[in-house]
Chain A
Amino acid sequence: MSQTKPQKVKWVKPPKLGLLDQMYVPTVISGMATTVKHMVGTLIGTGTGRGNIQVQSYPEEKPKLPPHYRGVHRLNRDPEGRAKCVACYMCSTACPASCIDIVAAPSPWPDREKYPETFVIDELRCIYCGMCEQACPVDAIELTTIFDLTGLTREEMMFDKEKLLSVFDQTVAAGTDPVRTQPGRLGVASLPAAAGLTGSSSAQS
């Protein structure tokens, strides 16, 4: 690499200051006015919730996250309350962190071949990339806006089917359904009509 010649160095001249800027004091005073304006605005905001407060008091005020946020998973229920999942292993195949463990069993219902006997996601291992959500042919697995996931043991963070279904109930009750991320047709088990065809089918426990 050739060295830069001194002639090629471009000297950038800083802007010229007027007498008022030279005196420094007026500019400092105008700067102080901005500082005080912010402080007073914030102090008003602290009491009334208005003003220019830019932060949230977290545990009391929950953030309003966008519906496509990728947080804790949920297993969706169909209108009859069963898990939509057809145990096709698409999600666990797509998963780059290999955190989804499914054991399939023959379905007790006529509208699908298999259903997951167990469905466990290791939430500590998950990288929340959302590829399971995209892979799912029946929109059974979705990532919700729940982000404050805590537990005292590693076992606690292994979310089984019941837990994942309860996340569905929780988000439906809270009205924070995630948006559907995958375009196009869904599998037959996801259709309400297909569920209706079966008529009498025992609800998933």
Chain B
Amino acid sequence: MDWNALIPLLVTLITIAVILGGVLGGVAYLTLLERKVSAWVQDRYGPNRVGFDFGQSWLSFLRKMWGLGQPLADGAKFLLKEDVIPGHVDKVFFMLAPMIAMGTALFAMAVVSIGDTPAPPALVSVKPTAGQEKVGVNTLAFPATAEEARRLERTGELKSFIDKSDGYKKRWKFAISPGVDIGFLFIFAVGSLAVYGIVLGGWSSNNKYSLLGSLRSSAQMISYEIPMGLSVMGVLILVGSLNLERIVDWQARNGWLGIYQPTAFLLFLTAIFAECNRLPFDLPECEQELVGGYHTEYSSMKFAMFFLGEYTHMITTSFLTVALFLGGWHLPGLESFLGADSYVALAAKLGIFAAKVGGIIMLFMLVRWTILRFKFNQLMSLAWKGMMPLGVLSLLGAMFVGQFGWSPWWLLPWSIFILTLVTALGAFVPGDDPRVQLRIARGRSPSASGVVGGGRRAGAGAV
């Protein structure tokens, strides 16, 4: 038996254990951070009592600890509480829903790298045009014909590819499954499954509040996936790959995509807020109208799994945002300072990645206390009337740059221009004015009423 073959398996298992442990531990402490940040924003201290003394006097030096023992106490509470399954629920789906919610959120971490992971070598068989070379478009394809393959062998490109592959194998990779070429397509596919967790949870609960919450949620998540996809298409066109490592690598060489395409970045950020059901898009569980939304009937650990799934989703989408738009582990000038491959540099890159992710998570928490929850019609008009046209226009710019090989810097003024244009045009779109709504409902033309626009259409032409 070839024991060497087991080493990659072992490495993968260790990586899974470390990343899973890290994410779940991070989730536990995110709940504490959330409560702390909420408190700070509201001029309070937040939870600061539970330390690690467990009531023992000989551990009294571990008392308080700024409330760091709180997640432990919360977890113990969730595990020890009675797990109520109401008699009127559909048991199978009721049990399945929290598992899906948590599982899909964790799945996405499989392809997201958490540190410096090199891009897999590309086999170049198509001669890139001069223009494409300038923006660094990777033209990668395997040899399509036998003639192509012979040419590659003759010119030595195949040899260099094999050498590169050997070099690639020896490099450190901070990802569970590095080099997945469908990259964020996988994340999108798995992320879309998260809506099943919520829909099943709401439907199987056999409760009108739960059902309403899950219906809203499914409409919201499906609507927001479109602007999300449109904003990411720009990245795809510029980089020419779905592979997350290649995207980060492109940004390390050419500059961060969030700077070139601020509008797409903003759209993506807004869309992931909606995907994570975070305020201002937390309609599925708004307490004032729907009691608890889709998790009204859930208690103890099953409720906690929904809760943790939401936070896990936050972490994975933050990683994704950083990888797609903020350059991943890249920080300008770091490599010249610490060297490309030293252990110090690898550790520094891990730290930089974590810091950027932390920044996005902090943004999540601060936005929660800044923007009010949208009404359902505002939510929908924001997605369909505001973000969708913006996404298409942003994509249009990226297409021109990709096709004609212009400098990606052209996308910056274009982004600002379309943001201004769409928001200004928003003033002429009939909005939420109740009179207009009434007339539309009665089957009359809204323009005949003389009230076109002018009203507060919260988010009609906005991001």
Contact = CB atoms under 8 A, between A and B. Distances in A.
B18 interface: no
Interface stretch (B34-42, B152-160, B353-361): B34-42
A13 B435 CA distance: 10
B424 A22 contact: yes
Contacts of B459: 24
B370 A11 contact: no
B88 interface: no
A53 interface: yes
B22 interface: no
B426 interface: yes
Given A19-B424, A25-B419, A32-B366, A38 B461 contact: no
Interface stretch (A40-48, A77-85, A91-99, A131-139): A40-48
Contacts of A22: 423-424, 426-427, 461-462
A152 interface: no
Interface in A44-63: 45-46, 52-55, 57
Contact of A28 (B44, B45, B370, B419): B370
Most chain B C-beta atoms within 10 Å of own C-beta, residue among A32, A34, A41: A32
B425 to A, nearest CB: 9
Contacts, number: 75
A132 B65 CA distance: 46
A42 B44 contact: yes
25 contacts: A14-B455, A15-B456, A19-B420, A22-B423, A22-B424, A22-B426, A22-B461, A23-B419, A24-B423, A25-B266, A25-B462, A25-B463, A35-B41, A36-B366, A38-B40, A38-B43, A39-B40, A46-B40, A46-B45, A52-B43, A53-B43, A53-B44, A53-B45, A54-B43, A55-B45
Contacts of B366: 32, 35-36, 39
A39 B43 CA distance: 7
Contacts of A53: 43-45
A23 B423 contact: yes
| Interface band, chain A | 20 to 34
B38 to A, nearest CB: 10
Contacts of B75: none
Nearest to B366: A35
Nearest to B263: A25
Contacts of A38: 40-43
A82 B424 CA distance: 83
A31 B43 CA distance: 16
B367 interface: yes
A14 B456 contact: yes
Given A23-B420, A23-B423, A25-B419, A31 B44 contact: no
A32 B367 contact: yes
B259 to A, nearest CB: 16
A13 B40 CA distance: 36
A42 B45 CA distance: 8
A15 B458 CA distance: 12
Nearest to A15: B456
Contacts of A41: 43
Contacts of A28: 367, 370-371
Interface string A119-138: 00000000000000000000
B70 to A, nearest CB: 16
A46 B456 CA distance: 40
B40 A43 contact: yes
A18 to B, nearest CB: 10
Contact of A24 (B369, B370, B454, B463): B463
A14 to B, nearest CB: 4
B377 to A, nearest CB: 15
Interface in B356-387: 366-367, 369-371
Interface string A1-41: 00000000001011111010011110010011011101101
